[in-house]
Structure 1
């Protein structure tokens, strides 16, 4: 089988949620014998030769960023990707096309692609995501941008009626798309991720680190808000001998200063893949909170699959039924502080970790099983 995949961004290195799903999906397709032609937008990124390990051919396109792309009824994230060279290459044969997110759907309804098999991967409900970003902003200019983009995305979403299939990332999202667009075949396709070197109970090193871990992209508004909450509401209530590690990409100066003033909080900025895997493997508690219940949080999958500590989450972090059995769900700062104090001194049993790993695989979080099912 030959497949065109249109990615919203260069999916290498796969260092945050959406790119992780795209990259490891390409890898799984390649391993399953699929011939992949990757189309991707590079803004601020060089060509990545490593992508030829997961795709047979790679085409790069410029994205038309800047104010000129703002003045359109189409969402900025869509209109700025209107490169007609993409349409030319998509028309080179009659192979199916997988569009990664609404971002890449500018040509989904084009007459030249009318008779093609067209599939759309939805990483979340985009207008909800942008509305939540607007709520998290302090700048009125940023609020205006995110709220306007959310409004545009809500109306633009009807473009999905031109797709043959929609692959939602959670059952909740799939139910939403089925209700809104009944003519389109919609499936829940669990996220793809790096399922190698999984730290199961049977192959993990002896011992655990003496820390609680929060990790994520520290330049993303949602994650900054969570870190502020941890520093201001949870850290003051826990024992001073319980170390909290905040790890992730590109923390700003303000966040670095806040953390430096707290004696039992350590910042690990821009860790390598190996460093991050080590932190995840040895954390006593994975403190995974969110105030934005959109899509799937891949950090939760990684913590459950590759970590051996407890996963302490708030209700918004749970993407689908089944996860409540794998995590400790606690809401409210007092209850979260109490849970940290209690869980820190109790290590999960090896049998419980093995059961957690197998339960995730049975829920579909297995790249090979995912491809067989679809």
Structure 2
């Protein structure tokens, strides 16, 4: 008998070019490979319907976000209030299939329906109120800073909606500890991603590499910090993103051995990663697990991070760790002389065994259809 599953996504998960949608897209690919009939429901704002999703889903439905001005004044978080749809509620009522809500953002139906005798699962991508407070701390625009602070407060109050779910799925060990303490029905299933095995690479790459969504203040802050690290070092740095940011690009223009590359397709990102010798990454928010870290450990050479990036991930021993400008500079000088060997690959295979997408999809299937 076929297994059918509704997945409600906070955004159209293709192209899979930023953190949250990467987990969604590669999850539905893995579930499809294991025979699950996925009925995907996508909210959207600036993305467009994608035929690629039809290859992995039994059905795909799209709903425009209700991003009206009055939503700012709702008691609900803006990210939830703007993702409500009567059409979605009607479609969910047509059958009794289990429902997987991607993020708190997509859980509006839990407010409006009871879903008796039906399994409902919420995949939490972050401790959202902590994440939004971090965005407020990193943001320099006063309006956005205020919005993020208010949204953080609303999300902290709203997360009690998780009590209505049959299961909560955490994405990282730190979040598992947090949510398990509040909701006993919490289970840890690692992040989904594009890699099925650790790649074997040549000993040397040709530059240091940072990739990030430059729409996000935390990533802009990280890019500007790395420009400060490399501007006086005799080693090339490539900063790449699917999104332009003028302030970052203006800083880059002042350093001849630092360049910006626009990512237009996944193949661009894969090629840049394959040629990188040292992958530099940092975050100023200890929330979730950074997909760029997982992807780099599977498909790249050396990783240099700050402690916040790897804290409580179990992956600390696979990375060089620095927290100050001088520490980053010193480790860059060290790593540029190192060669990447088969021993590095073997060690990663051991530590990354729990991040196999198909194994984790099977865990999810066993949890839903026990």
TM above 0.5: yes
The 1:321/1:272 distance shift into structure 2, 3 A limit, reads closer
Q: Alpha-carbon deviations, 1:308-337, whole Å to 9, x = none? A: x21111110015342011111122111111
Query: Do 2:176 and 2:187's aligned partners in 1 also have CA atoms closer than 8 Å?
Result: yes
Q: Kindly state the Cα deviation for residue 373 of structure 1 after the two structures are TM-superposed.
A: 2.9
Tell me, what secondary structure is at the counterpart of 1:70?
helix
Q: In the TM superposition, what are the counterparts of 1:1-374 in structure 2 within 5 Å?
A: 1-182=3-184, 185-195=185-195, 200-201=199-200, 204=201, 206=202, 208-232=204-228, 234-238=229-233, 240=234, 242-307=235-300, 309-361=301-353, 364-374=354-364
Q: Kindly state the Cα deviation for residue 354 of structure 1 after the two structures are TM-superposed.
A: 2.6
The 1:146/1:357 distance shift into structure 2, 3 A limit, reads same
The 1:39/1:325 distance shift into structure 2, 3 A limit, reads same
Q: Kindly state the Cα deviation for residue 260 of structure 1 after the two structures are TM-superposed.
A: 1.0
Tell me, what secondary structure is at the counterpart of 1:284?
strand
Q: Alpha-carbon deviations, 1:320-373, whole Å to 9, x = none? A: 342011111122111111000011111122122232133202xx1001111233
Inter-partner Cα distance in structure 2 for 1:236 and 1:303: 23
Inter-partner Cα distance in structure 2 for 1:199 and 1:123: 24
The gaps in structure 1 that reach 5 residues or longer are: none
**Greater relative CO, 1 or 2 (CA 8 Å, sep 6+):** 2
Query: Do 1:248 and 1:269's aligned partners in 2 also have CA atoms closer than 8 Å?
Result: yes
Q: Kindly state the Cα deviation for residue 255 of structure 1 after the two structures are TM-superposed.
A: 1.8
Q: Kindly state the Cα deviation for residue 60 of structure 1 after the two structures are TM-superposed.
A: 0.8
Inter-partner Cα distance in structure 1 for 2:324 and 2:336: 18
Query: Do 1:74 and 1:156's aligned partners in 2 also have CA atoms closer than 8 Å?
Result: yes
Tell me, what secondary structure is at the counterpart of 1:217?
coil
Inter-partner Cα distance in structure 2 for 1:273 and 1:207: 24
Inter-partner Cα distance in structure 1 for 2:256 and 2:250: 12
Deviates most, 46-55 or 154-163 = 46-55
Q: Kindly state the Cα deviation for residue 199 of structure 1 after the two structures are TM-superposed.
A: 5.9
Inter-partner Cα distance in structure 1 for 2:32 and 2:359: 14
Q: Kindly state the Cα deviation for residue 288 of structure 1 after the two structures are TM-superposed.
A: 1.1
Q: Kindly state the Cα deviation for residue 149 of structure 1 after the two structures are TM-superposed.
A: 0.3
The 1:346/1:32 distance shift into structure 2, 3 A limit, reads same
Deviates most, 42-51 or 291-300 = 42-51
Q: Kindly state the Cα deviation for residue 29 of structure 1 after the two structures are TM-superposed.
A: 0.5
Inter-partner Cα distance in structure 1 for 2:311 and 2:90: 38
Relative to the length of structure 2, the TM-score reads 0.94
Inter-partner Cα distance in structure 1 for 2:37 and 2:231: 54
Inter-partner Cα distance in structure 2 for 1:286 and 1:38: 34
Inter-partner Cα distance in structure 1 for 2:306 and 2:203: 27
Tell me, what secondary structure is at the counterpart of 1:59?
strand
Inter-partner Cα distance in structure 1 for 2:198 and 2:161: 41
Deviates most, 91-100 or 108-117 = 108-117
Q: Kindly state the Cα deviation for residue 227 of structure 1 after the two structures are TM-superposed.
A: 0.7
Relative to the length of structure 1, the TM-score reads 0.93
Tell me, what secondary structure is at the counterpart of 1:47?
coil
The 1:172/1:220 distance shift into structure 2, 3 A limit, reads same
Inter-partner Cα distance in structure 2 for 1:298 and 1:11: 15
Query: Do 2:39 and 2:59's aligned partners in 1 also have CA atoms closer than 8 Å?
Result: yes
The 1:159/1:11 distance shift into structure 2, 3 A limit, reads same
Query: Do 1:237 and 1:337's aligned partners in 2 also have CA atoms closer than 8 Å?
Result: no
